[in-house]
Structure 1
Amino acid sequence: MTETLRLGFTGDVMFGRFVNQRQEHRPPHAVWGSMRERLDSLDGLFVNLECCLSTRGRQWTLTPHPFHFRADPDWARPALQDVGVTWATLANNHVLDYGQDALEDTFSALEAGGIPYTGAGRTETHAWEPSHVVVDGLDVSLVAFTDNTPEFAADGDSPGTAYVDIDPNDEACLERVKTTLERAREENPDVLVVSMHWGPNMREYPPESFRAFAHWLVDSGVDIVHGHSAHVFQGVEVYDESLILYDTGDFVDDYAVDPVLRNDRSFLFEIEVSPTGSLFDLRMVPTKIAEFAVYRAFPTVAEWCRETMRRRSAEFGTQFDVEDEALVVHVGGQ
């Protein structure tokens, strides 16, 4: 049997507000609940860090911005290290919630923890710089950007996010992303990942424009599309032996729960990859947020997650198996 590596992807990891308050009274690893061992067993773990890591700064007030998330790096950094987070995207609408000082503290905390990041930076060039990591000999290049909150965009020498108005018909958008992909491919990676914080909240299905853009990314050489922003998971698609995770939902946070859309339920998305970068299986482990931590979903919740994922993926023709309560998608041949 071919040896494989397991790469895990999550949606929002938001350590602020009530999560931060609860963590003052429990050890850093408690935020991972019953998923801690599973996360730690992965060969690589890639997350959307949906907050700044700082105790400094003032809430953003330059434009309307109702929610502000930050976490104390004294526990947040050890928590990320505890489960071996390999890389974090900062391309989202919350990394500047407490201004430039808090964003600088975020960079410093991740750098001190040995956690690469991309999608935000001290300058516009830095924000758009691809990341490169090695996972047990597997070379992975990562590109991250967002279409959320244009006022957070890095500009010239000003810190901020890698922002672009995502539109498959906009030549300026395509050229900006294409240039970054070309730089990422200079490392000759085994796997190329694009991580995007895109679209509005609480949408069960991606718009046609996002489907077209995701296909363009794969046609441009991307192996894994890692989407997030909607707070609810969306369907998954196998396209030309690559994987498109349109939205990975919420993984751990304190958000208000919609009783119908259930943004407290999602998955840990595990992708089995060969040592040379071929994608084999996608395994989705159902999860549930409770007590400001993440847990493996109980059977009834797991069934809801599986059936909902099937429904949201139906238009893509995705075929699923069930193994140990996880949904499995076969991507390529072994």
Structure 2
Amino acid sequence: MGGELLTLFLAGDVMLGRGVDQILPHPGDPALPEAYVSDARTYVELAEAANGTIPWRAPYSWPWGEALGLLDAAAPDARVLNLETSVTQSDDIAPGKAVHYRMHPANLPCLAAVRPDVCALANNHVLDYGRRGLAETLDSLAAAGLRAAGAGRDLAEARRPAVVPIPGKRRLLVFSLGTASSGVPHGWAATADRSGIYFSDESSDAAAADAAGRIRRAKRSGDLVVVSIHWGSNWGYTVPRDQIRFAHTLVDSGADVVHGHSSHHPRPFEVYRGHLVLYGCGDLIDDYEGIGGNERYRDDLRLLYLVALEPDTGRLDHARLVPLQAHRMRLRHASLEDSVWLHEVLARTGRTFGTHLARDPEGALTVRGG
């Protein structure tokens, strides 16, 4: 191994629209085209009914809560998250969808507070307010100096990886893909003359070969590659065979980490040929507090993924998973009891992958490279 370990912070879904947008300094129009909730402020009221008062003009850092201090202490070399919301004032509502997310562009300092190096955009909410909303999202992120991957004004831009300088005169390449299994409409796929996302299909050998070829062509000596992919259902721990096969193809073709997301709670992960595959990181920021129906999955519990890689090989040395809890639309440390619960669930549901998960006295979970 040459040089010190490189540490990445990987986050699951960051959903700063709807209720979260409403508590920030510049809330957008709260009207929602949803069958059951017509006003985004209702989601704040549900959270308050569950856990107590929330400030309605909260500082931009509010949703991140105690996560910011943890990240500063960890000092990761790069930060990658799935931004699952449009950043727009567009009213071009995408038809045929049950849920729509947008945040006001003036609230982007909330996103900037976590200092992301790359925002993955290939997901099922980035075009919730149409292609005009996507264009404003891309322009707003660029104006704020925030890199994006997975969406663009045409297919070439959507497929292009974000490039982040990292220590050792190296580069981190981040590809972002979205799939129909996570609810991405087929019509959102970018084409040569139409904006959209890098759309893929984890059940297709041709799609896997296409992604693999793009990794091989883009990766240079010394580069590390993260493939951020939005796939799968919202709930449950079963990982479909198609996803496993797709992830293994990516690693075999040069991906160092597969950063999977879409599920609202953490899913199992594996170390394949020495490389970390996260099948579902779970939400990190959302407005689901107080919504009932899936309590058995404990979606109030969130994880910070701090992934330490060998710089020369991209192989996993270790990953530290720090449990947090959403409370009053803000992240706080999870209790030791909740950390034990997460440890038991992830150890049990990940047993088929042969991954050993340890828990330290402070509640953080650790997986070692294989």
What's the TM-score bracket when you normalise by the shorter of the two chains?
Answer: over 0.9
Summarize the Cα distance change of 1:34–1:10 in structure 2 as closer, same or farther, 3 Å threshold.
same
Separation of aligned partners in 2, 1:188 and 1:229? 31
Separation of aligned partners in 1, 2:222 and 2:142? 22
Q: Which 4+ residue blocks in structure 1 deviate beyond 4 angstroms?
A: none
Instruction: Give yes or no for contact 2:208–2:250 (8 Å, CA) kept in 1.
Output: no
Instruction: Give yes or no for contact 2:165–2:171 (8 Å, CA) kept in 1.
Output: yes
Deviates more, 1:243-252 or 1:124-133: 124-133
Deviates more, 1:47-56 or 1:256-265: 256-265
SS in 2 for 1:238: strand
> Larger Rg: 1 or 2?
2
Separation of aligned partners in 2, 1:262 and 1:316? 22
2:143 maps to 112
How big is each residue's C-alpha offset from its partner over 1:32-61, in whole Å with a ceiling of 9 and x where there is no partner? 011111223332211000001112232112
1:309 maps to 346
Instruction: Give yes or no for contact 2:212–2:249 (8 Å, CA) kept in 1.
Output: no
After superposition, residues 156-305 of structure 1 pair within 5 angstroms as: 156-167=192-203, 170-185=204-219, 187-255=220-288, 256-257=291-292, 258-276=294-312, 277-305=314-342
Instruction: Quote the offset at 1:278 in angstroms.
Output: 4.3
1:318 maps to 355
Instruction: Give yes or no for contact 1:10–1:48 (8 Å, CA) kept in 2.
Output: yes
Answering whether residue 92 of structure 2 is matched by residue 58 of structure 1, we say yes
2:68 maps to 36
Deviates more, 1:261-270 or 1:45-54: 261-270
Separation of aligned partners in 1, 2:216 and 2:105? 34
SS in 1 for 2:66: helix
SS in 2 for 1:215: helix
1:102 maps to 133
How big is each residue's C-alpha offset from its partner over 1:183-205, in whole Å with a ceiling of 9 and x where there is no partner? 321x4343111111011221212
SS in 2 for 1:28: coil
TM-score of the pair, normalised by structure 2: 0.83
Separation of aligned partners in 1, 2:212 and 2:310? 26
Instruction: Give yes or no for contact 1:237–1:318 (8 Å, CA) kept in 2.
Output: yes
Separation of aligned partners in 1, 2:299 and 2:112? 26
Instruction: Quote the offset at 1:298 in angstroms.
Output: 1.8
SS in 1 for 2:16: coil
Instruction: Give yes or no for contact 2:216–2:254 (8 Å, CA) kept in 1.
Output: no
How big is each residue's C-alpha offset from its partner over 1:275-298, in whole Å with a ceiling of 9 and x where there is no partner? 434431110001222222222212
May I ask how many residue pairs the two structures share in their alignment?
Answer: 326
Instruction: Quote the offset at 1:321 in angstroms.
Output: 2.0
Instruction: Quote the offset at 1:304 in angstroms.
Output: 1.4
Separation of aligned partners in 1, 2:76 and 2:111? 13
- State percent identity of aligned pairs: 35
Instruction: Give yes or no for contact 1:142–1:184 (8 Å, CA) kept in 2.
Output: no
- Unmatched segments (≥5 aa) in structure 2: 26-56
- Unmatched segments (≥5 aa) in structure 1: none
Task: Give RMSD over aligned pairs.
Answer: 1.8
Instruction: Quote the offset at 1:21 in angstroms.
Output: 0.7
2:5 maps to 4
SS in 2 for 1:217: helix
Separation of aligned partners in 2, 1:189 and 1:120? 26
Separation of aligned partners in 1, 2:235 and 2:76? 29
Answering whether residue 115 of structure 2 is matched by residue 47 of structure 1, we say no
Separation of aligned partners in 2, 1:85 and 1:280? 23
TM-score of the pair, normalised by structure 1: 0.92
Separation of aligned partners in 1, 2:175 and 2:233? 21
After superposition, residues 68-79 of structure 1 pair within 5 angstroms as: 68-75=100-107, 77-79=108-110
Instruction: Give yes or no for contact 1:39–1:45 (8 Å, CA) kept in 2.
Output: no
How big is each residue's C-alpha offset from its partner over 1:104-149, in whole Å with a ceiling of 9 and x where there is no partner? 1111121122221111111011111122111234421111111132
